[in-house]
Chains A and B, each alone.
Chain A
Amino acid sequence: MGAASLVIRGARVLDPVERIDSVFDVRLDDGVISQLGETVDANGHRVIEAAGRILAPAFIDPHVHLRTPGREDEETLATGAAAAAAGGYCAILAIPNTDPVVDDAELLRSLRVRAAEEACIPIGFLAAITKGQDGAELSELAALADAGAAGFTDDGRPVASAGLMRRALQYNAVTGKTIAVHCEEPSLTRGGHAHAGPVAAELGLGGWPSLGESLMVARDVDLALDTGQHIHLMHLSARESVDHLRRARAADARVTAEATPHHLCLTDDAIRTLDPNMKMNPPLRTAEDRAALIEAVRDGTIAAIATDHAPHSPEEKDVPFEAAPFGVTGLETAFAALYTYLVEPGVLALETVLERLSAGPAAIFGLERPRIAVDAPANLTLIDPTASWRVKAERFRSRSSNSWLLGRRLHGHIALTIAAGRVVHEL
């Protein structure tokens, strides 16, 4: 597939950062936006009639488990990228908790080469903060940055030692890359399968308390203040975590955060069916926690929505709830879930959701912001807001189908995705 030359005619062009919200034609020449206006000459290009649709900057997901290397039966670079493209994403960042862990510059280089060949959209790779993600010894952060690491994380587990986390932040000044953290105090979450509250008590599930996250958030925001370094908090779930985040940002700590669509749309009421596809880490929490996350997304305290796309094979998830691993897929449903459960009911503005899916994560990780402007490379997603579709396992591009939305009807479909100037998805 070469760089796209085409005209998208009559869509509602919506780029909240560029302050564009008008019905326009957009012309691409060789993958670059060349014209933007009320009527654009097709110049012989293919024309996509897009009246009634929304053309927005494509999304960036900074939190994707691609399972490669090691569990290619669950996801590959190609299938993960295809799933992302179908979800409206023009770029994703892969988490290094693979087998082996991405803590080595040569492995990172080989993955980047493979991604360039196999994946239909750009994939950035986060590397491990500590060797083997064991939380004991620092990875070679500078060598990994030189090899193209997009940032660092031990996601899947915390850096339990405060001393090591402080060292990592101090040393990371040499790379300038973002350190992203999974906030979990292991001594509080051992044996936990669900939010420690009345629902878990009733179901007999071991509790994973809010404090298990917020205590680590409190530590990490203080470490960010202490070191003056940037720290990014992944998949926040508890209102107490949001409180710590607000306090730290008010004190000018360099702290950013993300939330997932499932934590923004669901509460722990959803686990009463004991459906293993409702089991995530951190767990779904209460209505008050959900409201705090939504408010933080609305006011920008949480600047990014990230899927934490976590594919699992059927034999891993086709077990009783307590035996099931944490994690759900999300790339192909993120926008529609947010649109159906938050935008349509009037909880969040469409502009807010689009910004948190695109410009927000780009800024956190220092990536080029997808934008709709003349001379910008085309990273675009065309949304059909009137489409209604049912989530079905057999329709996923992902190799896994452990979605919390299986069987549900969603509104809003991604009709077209253009990433780095190329059409990577078209319905």
Chain B
Amino acid sequence: MSDLRVVSGDLRPPAFGKRDLLSIADLTRVDVERLLATAGSFARSQERDTKKLPTLRGRLVLNVFYESSTRTSSSFELAAKRLSADTMTLKAAGSSVDKGESLKDTALTLAAYEPDVVILRHPQVGAAAFFARLTEACVVNAGDGKHQHPTQALLDLYTMREAFGRLHGLQVAIVGDAAHSRVARSLVQALRLVGAEAILVGPPTLLPPGLAPASHEIDAIADADVVYVLLMQRERMLDGANFVPSLREYTARWGITPERIREGQRVMHPGPMNRGVEIDARVADSDAALVVDQVRAGLIVRMAVLYDLLTTGPVAVETTVEVA
């Protein structure tokens, strides 16, 4: 792969309408290959002393977060800054959202600033698709309820490819509360796109029907190359939910302990981790864990997404790296 050769003069307006990244379901295998290759180019740019590229100078990237976030909002903000875009972050707390402003009015208000990209996280399924219809900006879905979180899946693919040198044929066991996880939904679709296999493992009450092959036996993770651990939220035990009887029982049955991980398996977690609940601290801190690699991949993959949305593509790097 050649070195990054991008200058701002290469940027042209999109040839056909505007582009959004709302769901992995909207992407083709070629899109994924291109995005990962672009991210690879940006990875090398981040090894230099001067990490900032002039690529998106003069562009405006808005971060709009209706839910708390550490990794996603900070990495999108840094990604935009590394590409020299102007950034602004709006959090629901302390904004007019607190005063009951509707998502529609927020969208119309922010559109007045003529942003090029809006990164949106919102607790309701369909929020990103709804927002995208109200703005001329490219919308990146940074999480809409339990539906989708596509950049998480892309950074996970990137991390897996770096760790294994391939994606095709990889076996990934996704362990835990898939039913309430946008991360699981995006990841299952992304793995399918690149020819990897996903299996869902967890309590039967938390396995959504038809999403992917599933098992409630923790032994089902034995053949996996990657054990992908999902966040287990306390509210799933609340009255009226009762998906599992207790966290203690969950941990005993499905918690990822050193004893359950075999040699050669790698462990991933989208964060934030509940150490001692879904993942044992000894696993989280072991060499098998790729959690920090995921965070690092988050930055360059999000740079690639911003870059890709604001250029017509194919990008100005040679996409010689095969995903397979």
Contact = CB atoms under 8 A, between A and B. Distances in A.
Interface string A79-120: 000000000000000000000000000000000000000000
Contact of A322 (B124, B179, B185): B124
A197 B130 contact: no
A322 B180 CA distance: 14
B211 interface: yes
Contacts of B103: 319-320
Contacts of A193: 125
B66 to A, nearest CB: 10
A387 interface: no
Contact of A204 (B104, B147, B210, B240): B147
B2 interface: no
Most chain B CB neighbours (cut-off 10 Å) among A196, A203, A273, A318? A203
A202 B124 CA distance: 14
B19 interface: no
Interface string B84-100: 00000000000000000
Given A204-B147, A204-B185, A320-B130, A196 B209 contact: yes
Given A319-B103, A321-B125, A197 B210 contact: yes
Interface residues of B, number: 25
Given A201-B209, A202-B211, A204-B147, A274 B129 contact: yes
B129 A323 contact: no
B208 interface: yes
B151 to A, nearest CB: 16
A322 B145 contact: yes
A204 B146 contact: yes
Interface in A183-205: 190, 193, 196-198, 201-205
B211 A274 contact: no
A322 B211 contact: no
A321 B130 contact: yes
Interface string B121-162: 010111101100000000000001111100000000000000
B182 interface: yes
Nearest to A193: B125
Given A203-B125, A204-B125, A274-B125, A319 B130 contact: yes
Contacts of A197: 209-210
Contacts of A319: 102-104, 124, 130
B210 A320 contact: no
A15 B119 CA distance: 58
A323 B123 CA distance: 10
Contacts of A57: none
Nearest to B210: A198
A377 interface: no
A204 B209 contact: no
Contacts of B127: 320, 322
Contacts of A368: none
Given A204-B182, A205-B146, A320-B103, A274 B130 contact: yes
Contacts of B122: 320
Nearest to A194: B125
Contacts of A276: 126
Most chain A CB neighbours (cut-off 10 Å) among B147, B182, B185? B147
B126 A322 contact: yes
A399 to B, nearest CB: 19
Nearest to A209: B209
A315 interface: yes
Contacts of B145: 204, 320, 322
Contacts of A196: 209
A193 B185 CA distance: 17
A273 B209 CA distance: 20
A191 to B, nearest CB: 9
B240 A190 contact: yes
A274 B148 CA distance: 12
Contacts of B211: 198, 201-202
Interface in B162-186: 179-180, 182, 185
B126 A274 contact: yes
Nearest to B104: A318
A320 B126 contact: yes
Contacts of A203: 125, 147, 185
Nearest to B128: A320
Interface of A: 190, 193, 196-198, 201-205, 273-274, 276, 315, 318-323
20 contacts: A190-B240, A193-B125, A198-B210, A201-B179, A201-B208, A201-B209, A203-B125, A204-B125, A204-B146, A204-B185, A205-B147, A276-B126, A315-B102, A315-B104, A320-B127, A321-B124, A321-B126, A321-B129, A322-B124, A322-B125
Interface of B: 25, 102-104, 122, 124-127, 129-130, 144-148, 179-180, 182, 185, 208-211, 240
Given A320-B144, A323-B124, 16 more contacts: A197-B209, A198-B210, A201-B211, A202-B208, A203-B185, A204-B125, A204-B145, A204-B182, A205-B125, A205-B146, A274-B129, A320-B122, A320-B126, A321-B126, A322-B124, A322-B126
Q: Which 10 A-B pairs have the closest CB atoms?
A: A204-B146, A321-B126, A198-B210, A201-B208, A274-B126, A204-B147, A320-B126, A322-B124, A322-B125, A320-B127
